[in-house]
Every structure is written in C-alpha cells, then in structure tokens.
Amino acid sequence: QVQLVESGGGLVQPGGSLRLSCAASGSIFNINSMGWLRQAPGKERELVAEISNLRRTNYRESVKGRFTISRNNANSAVYLQMSSLKPEDTAVYYCYAAVSVKNYWGQGTQVTVSS
C-alpha cells in the first residue's frame, strides 16, 4: 500500500507560478513511475506529466516548457513546478504512484488560474 498526499494548490493569476508537492508513504520502495494528472470540471482526467524511476520524463504537449516534474531519490515525494499558468490549467491535480500493475492516487489539490 502507498499513501499519497498532495499540497501546494491555490489561486494564482494568469502568468503566475505554483509548485505542487506530493508526499508518499507506505511501501514506497516498490514505486516505479510517479506523476500528475488533472481533471477540469466536465472533462476527463488527463495526464500532465510523469517521471520514471530512471528519471525519464514525459509531458502533456500543452504544458511542455512551462511545467517541470521531479522526484526525490527516496521515492517519498514528487513535485510539479508550474510556470506561465493559464486559465485552462485550472483543474484538480492528482498525483499518482505506480507499483507493479497497480496505481495509487492522492485526494487531489485544486489549482485555479484566474484574474
């Protein structure tokens, strides 16, 4: 079992920045990839960014150059640095951790980009 807790969401103006954090606990030594998804009202959940245990990263096209994903060596945290935020980035952001064939999810943190 892996428990995930996100933090760092909030209200930010367009063009601003936020840093999301996700703390992992439990059987973290078995974690492979980690990442972030988001879900806007009325839309399906979509992948934002992911990072493998070899630190290979993958980003959604619309966030490339603006968002940066990272994780610590202990597998206990994953981060998402978001810059040049746009109103269309508004969503609930969820972190996940993949362990073998099972994914674990956090409860989500709201990010609102509005003037």
The tens digit of pLDDT for each residue in 47-81 reads 999 999 999 999 999 999 999 999 998 878 999 99
Tokens encoding 86: 């746009």
Mean pLDDT along residues 17-42: 94
DSSP SS3 for 99: strand
Mean pLDDT along residues 22-45: 94
Give the Cα separation of 11 and 115 in Å (integer): 9
pLDDT reported for residue 75: 78
Percentage of the chain exceeding pLDDT 70: 100
Q: What is the DSSP letter of 65?
A: T
Q: Kindly report, residue by residue over 88-97, the tens digit of the pLDDT.
A: 999 999 999 9
